[in-house]
Amino acid sequence: MKFAYEANAWGGVVGTPGSVTNLGSGFYETPGDVHGTLEAIAAVGYQGLELFDGNLLPFEDSISDFVAAVNGQGLEVAGVYSGGHLIYRDAHEDELARFDRSIRLAASAGARHYVIGGGAIRSTGRRDEDYRIAGEFLDTVAERARAAGLVASYHPHLGSLAQAPEQIDALFAATSIGLCADVAHIAAGGGDPAAVIRRHADRLAYVHLKDLDATTHAFMPLGEGDLDLGGIIDAVVDAGYDDWITVELDGYEGDQSAAAARSLRFLQAGKLA
């Protein structure tokens, strides 16, 4: 296993505002200095990073500069995270144009994983057909990502189409895309992360690890929350997974570098080292 860290710890997530008037321009991004984030992740001792596709946009015409900066810190790009509207067929053409751009950026940056997160919920709530429509579209995006040499996966997310266990099951019954198991989001959505991983073991394509305060649903450094991380890691190992483990800690109010270091020590002391 190799250990990466998600860059959104240093700045969180915003959306590109142009997407209000141009669907094809909507990307996630973390505000701030990406070079400083690379230094922080490398200084702690991680081997890679994940970042939002929007953070690659400034390097679109000079991606070699970004790759050189990553490699100069002794890092690799473990993954690139994207998202979009999945349930509205009329939006798929524009969303696919944006995904294609995002996939090109991720592949050019040398990423291994391409993660698609969330998916909007209608104002009137989820409909049964939403899972089928989203699943078919995810298959299309995943096929294009795989053609570019990326490992494609879907990330269940709080506040999205697939949050609770039965919603995750409904979506994965409608698509062939791999699972990015973010264990804290699965737990906060009412699921047992180890059980979800075991149920979809043949689809496990990527893993996001963070701990969770079960009372407040605040994300925590590994080993400092309420998740049974030992049981979760057992499920990951039993699934035959042997790829990047990416630690994520968005929204944490403590010292981010110190938290990243504590999480890495937790991993190095466990079964995944």
pLDDT digits (tens, 9 = 90+) for 103-118: 999 999 999 999 999 8
Is a pLDDT exceeding 70 seen at residue 246? Answer: yes
Q: Total domain count for the chain? A: 1
Give pLDDT, residue 220. Answer: 97
Which CATH number is 57's domain given? 3.20.20.150
Give pLDDT, residue 272. Answer: 65
Is a pLDDT exceeding 80 seen at residue 16? Answer: no
Report pLDDT digits (tens) over 1-11: 899 999 999 99
Give pLDDT, residue 222. Answer: 97
- The model's confidence at residue 22, banded by pLDDT at 50, 70 and 90, is confident
Mean pLDDT value across residues 135-149: 98
Domain that holds residue 252: 2-268
**Residue 66 and residue 105: Cα distance in Å, rounded?**
11
Which residues have CB under 8 Å from 193's CB, separation 6+?
Answer: 181, 183, 184, 186, 187, 227, 232, 235
Mean residue pLDDT across the chain:
95
Domain for residue 79, yes or no?
Answer: yes
Domain for residue 228, yes or no?
Answer: yes
Domain for residue 165, yes or no?
Answer: yes
Report pLDDT digits (tens) over 175-212: 999 999 999 999 999 999 999 999 999 999 999 999 99
Report pLDDT digits (tens) over 74-103: 999 999 999 999 999 999 999 999 999 999
DSSP, residue by residue, the chain: -EEEEEGGGTT--EE-GGGGT-GGG--EE--S-HHHHHHHHHHHT-SEEEEEGGGGGGGTT-HHHHHHHHHHTT-EEEEEEEE---S-GGGHHHHHHHHHHHHHHHHHTT-SEEEEE-----TT---HHHHHHHHHHHHHHHHHHHHTT-EEEEE--TTSSS-SHHHHHHHHTS--PEEEEEHHHHHHTT--HHHHHHHTGGGEEEEEE-EE-TTT--EE-TTSSS--HHHHHHHHHHTT--SEEEE--TT--S-HHHHHHHHHHHHHTSTT-
Report pLDDT digits (tens) over 209-236: 999 999 999 999 999 999 999 999 999 9
Please state the φ and ψ torsions of residue 111, each to the nearest 5 degrees: -65, 150
Domain for residue 273, yes or no?
Answer: no
Give pLDDT, residue 28. Answer: 85
Domain for residue 138, yes or no?
Answer: yes
Give pLDDT, residue 156. Answer: 96
Give pLDDT, residue 231. Answer: 96
